[in-house]
Structures are given as C-alpha cells and as structure tokens.
A and B are shown apart, each in its own frame.
Chain A
Amino acid sequence: MTLRNIAPQIHPLQKIDFIEPKIFDITPEVRLYWMATIPDETTRIEFHFDAGTIRGNEKVAGFVNSLLLSGTAQKSTTQIHDELNGLGAYIDQEIGQETAIISLYCLRENVEKAVEILADAIQHVVFSEQEVNDMLREKRQNYLVASEKVGVLVRRAFQQQLFSNSERYSRQLVFEDLEHVSPLTLKRFHQDFYLKGLCKVVVVGNLEAAYIDRLIDTVGGWSKLGEPQFESEFINIPGHTHVEKADAVQKAIRLGIPLFNKTHADFLDFQIMQTIFGDYFGSRLMSNIREDKGYTYGIGCGVAESNKTGYFIISTEVGKEVAEATLKEIKFEMDRLKTEAVQQEELDLVKNYLLGQILKSADGPNAMMDLFMATQRHGKGFEYYNEAIQHIQQIDQKRILELANTYLNWDQFSIVTAGATSI
C-alpha cells in the first residue's frame, strides 16, 4: 500500500557542473564566446551591437535594426531572404534600450554560407527609399495595433516615470516619428553603431576551431573601439500615473523602482526576497491576488538588469473593477513582508525552488551559455552561481525583513495604470 499522505523525501541539489565557453579576444574590448560541446547539429550565433534605442540623436535605432536585411546594391531583400531560407536559416533581429542583437539559427553544415550572406547584407545595406517606406508603413500599422493594448500603453508610460533623469532611456517612438525618416540618418546610424559597434559575438555549435578564426576575420572589422557608455543610475518619479483607454475591460498595472544589478552586494539576497514576494507561481502576490481573490490571470515581479544598474518591477492585468483592490493587496503584501518574519517552511520552499531554477537554467549548452553571458557582462563568471547557491542556503528570516524594509517602500514606487477611468 502506497502511503500517499507522506511526501517522498527531498534530496538536496548536488553540485552543478558548469561548462566554460572558450573566449577569444577580437580586440582588447570585444570578445567572442564559444560553446563547442553540443550533442546535436544546431548552431546559434549572436552578434551584439552597441545599437540600442538609447543610441543616436534621432530615434532611428529600431528602423536601422529592422532594415539590416533590406538589400544591398547587389541583392534585393527578397534575394537575401531566399538565400538564407534556402539554407534553412532563421534570423532574429532584436533591439533593447542598450543593445541590438542579431541572431542566426541554423544547422552547422550551413553555418559558413549563412554567416557570409548575413554579414554581407549587414555590411552593405543601402537603405533604399522603397525599403524605408515599406518599413515605415508596416511600423505605423503595428504602432496603431500596439496602442490598443493596455499592456503596451502602461509600458510606455512606465518607462517615462522610471527613467525620468534620462531622455535617452525614457524616450520612445510616437506616431509622427513613423511618417518620415531620411535615409542619410539611417546610414549614419548604421555606420556608427553597426559597422563600428560590435561588442560581442556568442557562438554555440560544434564547429571547427579554424572556422571560429574565419568568423572573427569576417566580422572583426565591426568591432567597437573603447567601452560603450551606459547610464549608471535611474531616478524615478514616484506616485500614480494613469493612461486612459475607455473601452478596455481590464486594467494593466505596473509598479517599479530603480534598483541595481549583479554587481551590488544586496543583489542575490534581494532576488530571494522578491521571489517570495511575487516571482514564482506560489508567491505572495500570486497566492493572494490570483489564487485567493481571482482578480487576475497572472501577476508577477522581477528585477531587470541593465549594463550599469537595474530596476524592480511588478506587473499585472486585472479586471477594471478590481484594479484599486489589487493595488491595495500589493501594498498589503509589501507591508506584510516588512513586518512579519517569513515562515521557515515558506523560506525553505523558496530556497529549494531557486536551487532547482539554477539547475534548470544550466541544462544544455544553449542554457549554459546564456547563464554564462548573464554574469559576464557584469564582470563575473560561473563562480557567481556558486556564490548564489551559498546565499540561498544561508539566508534567514531576519535578512528578508531587512531587505524588504530597505527596498519595498510604497511611497518610492512609480505606479502606472492603463485602462478605463483613473483610480
């Protein structure tokens, strides 16, 4: 007879076997990171450029990113895509505030050709008027569709409240920006931030070492001279801002404060504290606002890191009639974390959960590489995760209280809502 009332014994995390990528210096500042041990035929190559939305005097970073494969003097955009698709290659063009990343996914038998086509397209893009107009037309439509979503409206307003000290970090596109752009501005941005903006190359694939040298020869000329400069402190505007969208049946809510990144002494312990608060399915926010009250499909929080600093954010979408009640419950949960010591049982659960998450985020060569890169940009390596494991094992109730009291101060939060009627 199986005893179903008794939970099976839990075995603690054994050690994690980290696999270091090989590191090549392209220049003194720009490096290539290569994870060669992979049990299949896939290859992933990422090119990181200092070409995020904070770059350039005009707001064209996103345009240039979208147009990278839009054609050269020799090849049309369709030709470029046909060639890449013919090799079974997938290209991702993503852009954030600080970095733009172009990723190539393909089988290793096709990687050389695919990189050649991709590099040629990026190097020689001409920004033809026709392609620029097509891009603007599509972006205008996407902008209007996005503007119908409360989740997007709240994000735009939140960015202005959170990065109030920086025009570059808080700025964003408005519809008028999508009406016209001069190809010359695009060319200049491309020249400055792509052709002289490569910051790192990430490779996961069972390739030949000689190919890595050839890859460096192909793209090394794009290397950025010197270290890119980033904002090292954000200053937010505390208090409530509302964006009206009269026909919305749900209201999007965002709260946030400037914080820090992995380089700060409190970072690891803060991660544990904020997990209890709202960063896993059994968190305080989920248990109260979803599982007890049924106000939302989901609510969560997290720390977003930038190169030199970071911020803390709480985010949800709730029925419009319960938005005020939701804010009250978020505040209630903050206060509870500041005044009541967390139960040992709950703390143990979160500790084990977080250890499991570290194990999961080290599973497989691609995950291992991401894990490494997440520490590398803050000047750390895999030793950071061993440190994290120690912090998780050692943290106690007192330290959680202390962190909650230091950082979770309601009056310091920027609170932004988007939906029907202000609250």
Chain B
Amino acid sequence: MIEFERFTLENGLKVIFHKDPTTPLAVVNTLYDVGARDEDPSKTGFAHLFEHLMFGGSVHIPDFDAPLQHAGGESNAFTSNDITNYYDVLPAQNIETALWLESDRMLSLAFTPKSLETQRNVVIEEFKQRYLNQPYGDVWLKLRPLAYHAHPYQWATIGKEIKHIEDAQMEDVKAFFAKYYNPSNAILCIAGNFELEQVKTLVNKWYGDIPSGLKPARILPAEPQQTEFREQIIERNVPSDAFYYAFKMPERKSPDYYIADILSDALGRDKSSRLYVKIQKELKLVTEIGAYITGSLDDGLLIISGKLSPDVTFQQLDDALWIVLNEIKETTISDIELARLKNKIKTAKAFQEQGLLNRAMNLCLFELLGDAEGVNQEALIYSEIEPKHIQTVAKQVLNQSNCSLLKVKTTQS
C-alpha cells in the first residue's frame, strides 16, 4: 500500500506527495504528458531529443546538473512513446535545490544553439549505439510501422531515421516547449520524509508563479482494426534467424490489459512458461523465446520473440507456435498455473515497491491514467483474474489476422 496526498496548484499543476519516514532521501519526479506519439510524422524523435535539451540550462540557471550534484543529488530522465519523465534523487534536506531547478526549467529553457547542436550529436550517437550497432538492434524500427499503420506508435522514440534528428531546428524546440512543457500538462510527485504543509509551501513557492499554459488536446489518428496477417522479412548480418510476432492488445486503461499481461507471462515469462517448455526445451526449435507486452497507454502489442536453432525453418517454428497458442485459446489454464503466475507478479511488485523512486514514478503514471490510487488497486485486479478471463482474451488477441510478423533472416552462412 502506497500512501499519498494530492493537491493542485492554481496554474493546474497536479502534485502528489508520498511520505516515507524511513528514508534520508527525497525524490522529485516530474511527468510531462508528452511522448513520441505526439510528434509530427515528419519530425520524429523530437520528444526524446527535447528531453536531452532539458538538461542544457534554463532561463535563470545556466547548468542543470551541477547545482543538483552540488546538493548531493543526481538526475535523469526517460522518454517513451507515451510520456516524458524526469527525476531527481537527493538528500532530503536539500529538496529545495531540486524544486528550484525543476521549476525553472518548467518556466523556460535557455535555448542555446550550442546545446541543440551538441545534443543532436549525442542523440545520433545514441541512435547508433542502441539501434544500429547492435545485432537485431533495428527490429523495432521495422516492427512498429508493420504493426501500426495510422497511430504514431509506428515510430520508435528515438525517431524514424537519423535525418529527423539532424534536421531539428531551434524554432521547433521552442514551439514544442511552449506547447507541452507547462504546469497544466505535468504531474509532480514529491516523495520523502516531509509533512504535507511543508510540501505545499515549497511547491507553491517554486511553481506557483509559472503561467498555466493550455493543456494541449490530444487527437491522435486511431489505429484501424487490423484484419489481415502481416509479414515482413529483413536480411541482416546476424548469427541466427530471429522472429517477432506482434499481436495487438487492449489499451492501458482497459480491464483486459492486465489479463493480456498474465497471458504473456503464461506464454513466455520464465522457464515454466508454455513456449519455453514446449518449443525451446522439448522441441529444441529455438535457443531463446519469450513473451511480453509493450505496456503502451493506447492499444499496445503482445510480443513473442526469439531466435531459431541452427537448421530450423521459420515454418517449423510457426507450426509449433500456433499449436501452443491454440491450446491456450481452446482450453482454460489450470488453477495451479494461474496461481504460479500470480505469485510471481506478487513477488515482483513487493520488490519494485521497495524503491522510493519507483513509487514516485508509479504514482505519477497512475495519476496520468486518471487516479494515482490505481497503483494500490493493481494487486486486487490481478488477484481477481480467473482462468476463463485469460481464455477470452487469448481468443481475442492471439489470431493471425491480429498479428504482424517480422522475420530477421541471417545472411551469414
């Protein structure tokens, strides 16, 4: 159970306070309701590039990191297709330093040409390091446009191509900031050993005078219902053939989201999962197989991926895979299997909640979904899932006509 209090400033900034009397640290977590899905299709990778620029100095403070480090803290951020999240962890007695820094960059950035120039280069190197210079590194650049034809999930957060990053202009940066980085589009969580009144005073002091801005309306092209099986084959200089089956699954707010999550666990979370036991262990068709969900806020993907054993064909795998998938659609899973899946989730959640930062990030995310209290309802939602629910969702999700398959064929002999 994560306890918290909530309040909203006049400028629209939503604030969550989570008291933890056991820690000497404080976390200041800021979620901006903007991600790669909000980008212009001709200027992708921008939300993520922008995240880098947020460390390049703000209107009153030339350098973001140095004052925070001087206060004994550190900071980082991540961008997903849905959100951009910034966090600071520092000794609790210096929390005001983090509020000063975070509020100043919410007020306005410095927008120096040097910062834009450098971060373009840094992000291009990140593009290379993560996507181009790794075996199978570019599969998500291919799989997304295969699975999504209308929705902006068709590009990765890093962007469609390096050129989009190279082309980013200062006027784009300024417009992006003006549109998305304001109090009405942000959720702030303060976590640590404080009192509510103290937090209210501090947050009002640093954020109260930031102009509200307009919460941008989000009108994204809806992804039409997929009605046909899609397949793409790419050839790469990699050691073995690899496969990525992507099934459309319900959005984050749907009750079926959690069921699809357990379904993916049943298929491929660990060495007890069906795909591992049947296809890797018993039939030895693969040297690696797993299943997981993308966790997207809009309609997401359930992914089954792995690598073929030498001399095994994609067809052999496909035949065996569909036998396993059809089985979970046709017969309900046993209570023992379901209990096992739930127990793993329960353990994982207990360990995840140990971290102060994790709690703060989760509170912000659930507040974005509609109610921070949702973080405390997850356990109950999972515990109420029954075998028949899993069968129903399996029947909806695990279909050829709902599937996009990317095959990576090796060019090595």
- Map CB proximity to A onto B83-95 as digits: 1 under 8 Å, 0 otherwise: 0000001110110
B272 touches A352 (CB 8 A): no
Residues of A within 8 A of B413 (CB): none
Q: How many A-B residue pairs have CB under 8 A?
A: 213
Could you say which of B71, B72, B237, B271 has the most chain A C-beta atoms within 10 Å of its C-beta? B72
Task: List B contacts of A364 (CB < 8 A).
Answer: 22-23, 354-355
Do the beta carbons of A90 and B347 come within 8 Å of each other? Answer: yes
Q: Does A227 contact B (CB under 8 A)?
A: no
Q: How large is the interface on B (under 10, 10 to 19, 20 to 34, 35 or more residues)?
A: 35 or more
Closest to B339 in A: A86
Chain B residues in 8 Å Cβ range of A148: 134-135, 237-239
Asked whether, in the complex, the Cβ of B343 is within 8 Å of the Cβ of A87, the reply is yes
**Closest residue on chain B to residue A280 by CB atoms:** B69
- Is A244 interfacial (CB 8 A cutoff)? no
Asked if A213 lies at the interface with its beta carbon under 8 angstroms from chain B, I say no
A140 to B268, alpha carbons, bound, how many Å?
A: 22
Give Cα A138 to B239, complex, Å.
13
Pairwise interchain contact B350-A107, C-beta atoms closer than 8 A: yes
Asked whether B133 lies within 8 Å of A248 as measured between CB atoms, the reply is yes
Partner of A355, one of B67, B72, B347: B72
Q: From residue B86, how far is it (CB to closest CB) to chain A in Å?
A: 14
**A8 (CB) vs chain B CBs: closest residue:** B96
Instruction: List, in ascending order, chain B residues with CB within 8 A of A137's CB.
Output: 284, 287, 309
A40 touches B353 (CB 8 A): yes
From known contacts A14-B93, A85-B340, A363-B23, infer whether A134 and B118 are also in contact, taking CB-CB under 8 Å.
Answer: no
Alpha-carbon distance between A282 and B70 when the two chains are bound, in angstroms: 10
**Which residues of chain A have C-beta atoms less than 8 A from B74's C-beta?**
280-281, 353, 356-357
Most buried by B among A81, A85, A137: A85
Decide if B69 touches A39 in the complex (CB within 8 Å): no
The distance in angstroms between the C-alpha atoms of A9 and B121, with both chains bound, is: 35
Whether a CB of chain A sits under 8 angstroms from the CB of B132 is yes
A144 and B239 contact, Cβ closer than 8 Å, known pairs A4-B104, A356-B91: yes
Cβ of A221 < 8 Å from any Cβ of B? Answer: no
Tell me which of A77, A350, A364 has the highest count of chain B C-beta atoms within 10 A of its own C-beta.
Answer: A364
Q: B117 interface residue, CB < 8 Å from A?
A: yes
Contact: A39 with B22, CB < 8 Å? yes
Q: A360 and B119: CB pair below 8 A? A: no
Contact B271 A77 (CB under 8 A): yes
User: Interface size of A by Cβ–Cβ distance < 8 Å?
Assistant: 74
Closest A residue to B63 by CB, please name it: A282
A231 at the interface (CB under 8 A from B): no
> How distant is the Cα of A110 from the Cα of B347 in the complex, in angstroms?
10
User: How far, in whole Å, are A359 and B73 apart by their CA atoms in the complex?
Assistant: 10
Q: How far is the CA of A40 from the CA of B347 in the complex (A)?
A: 11
**CB-contacts of A21-50 with B (<8 A):** 39-42
**Which residues of A, 203-250, contact B by the 8 Å Cβ criterion?**
247-250
Q: Contacts of A150 on B, CB cut-off 8 Å?
A: 133
Residues in B whose Cβ lies below 8 Å from that of A173:
none
Complex formed: what's the CA distance from A71 to B340 in Å? 20
The interface bits of chain B over 341-374 (1 if a CB of A lies within 8 angstroms of the residue's CB, else 0) are: 0111111101101111000000000000000000
A64 at the interface (CB under 8 A from B): no
A138–chain B nearest beta-carbon distance, Å? 5
The answer to whether A42 and B346 have CB atoms under 8 Å apart is no
- CB of A81 within 8 A of CB of B23, answer no
Q: Select the stretch in B28-36, B123-131, B221-229, B316-324 that faces chain A.
A: B123-131
Name, among B66, B103, B123, B307, the residue most crowded by chain A CB atoms within 10 Å (CB to CB). B66
Please tell me if the beta carbons of A294 and B69 are within 8 angstroms of each other in the complex. no
B residues 214-241 in Cβ contact with A at 8 Å:
237-240
For the complex formed, measure the closest distance between the CB of A389 and the CB atoms of chain B, giving whole angstroms: 12
The 0/1 profile, CB within 8 Å of A marked 1, for residues 301-322 of chain B is: 0000001011000000000000
- What residues on A are CB-neighbors of B209 within 8 Å? 1-2
Interface assignment of A180: CB less than 8 Å from any CB of chain B? no
A to B CB contacts below 8 Å, 15 in the list: A4-B60, A10-B70, A13-B72, A82-B340, A110-B343, A141-B288, A281-B65, A282-B69, A297-B123, A317-B125, A317-B133, A353-B73, A360-B89, A363-B24, A366-B354
Interface residues of B (CB under 8 A from A): 22-25, 59-61, 65-67, 69-75, 89-91, 93-94, 96-97, 99-100, 103-104, 107, 117-126, 128-130, 132-136, 205-206, 208-209, 237-240, 270-272, 277, 281, 284, 287-288, 307, 309-310, 336, 339-340, 342-348, 350-351, 353-356
Q: Residues of A with Cβ closer than 8 Å to B?
A: 1-2, 4-5, 7-11, 13-14, 16, 39-42, 77-78, 81-82, 85-90, 105-107, 110, 134, 137-138, 140-142, 144-145, 147-150, 247-250, 280-282, 290-297, 317-319, 348-350, 352-353, 355-357, 359-360, 362-364, 366
- Extra inter-chain contacts (12) besides given A88-B347, A294-B118, A363-B24, CB under 8 Å: A2-B208, A86-B343, A88-B346, A106-B347, A145-B307, A150-B133, A249-B133, A250-B133, A291-B118, A356-B72, A356-B73, A359-B24
Closest 7 CB pairs of A and B: A356-B72, A294-B121, A88-B343, A144-B239, A8-B96, A141-B287, A148-B135
